[in-house]
Amino acid sequence: MTKRLSKADLTAIRERAEKATEGEWRIADTTEGAWLLDGNDLIIAGTFERIEDAVFSKHARQDIPKLLTEIDRYREIERKIRSLTGRAFITTDKQVFEIIREINEIYYRGDNE
């Protein structure tokens, strides 16, 4: 099992993603192999022997920032839930239901799916 990413790990990944060539990348599949090109048709990487590897790399430019945003969102949810469940002296059902309601609002806020 992989260990939880530290703040330093996430910062390093974010910095690498931000330094990568911007824009949507595309694949040029040639007889010599697949090449990864930027929006100006400049070669970013190549040659890939397997088209699946090129497709993975192509999508990494958009996927990694999306994943980092999702990690940030879940960590914020976790922080808020910890603050809610860390309340001392929860003694009534009403207090429990209020905490559950707040957790649901935090978790589902912004989700349109």
Which helix (H) or strand (E) element contains residue 57? helix 51-85
Q: Does residue 51 surpass a pLDDT of 60? A: yes
What's the confidence (pLDDT) of residue 110? Answer: 55
Read out DSSP for 67-103? HHHHHHHHHHHHHHHHHHHT-S---SHHHHHHHHHHH
Q: Does residue 34 surpass a pLDDT of 50? A: yes
- Cβ-based neighbours of 52, under 8 Å, separated by 6 or more: none
What's the confidence (pLDDT) of residue 60? Answer: 93
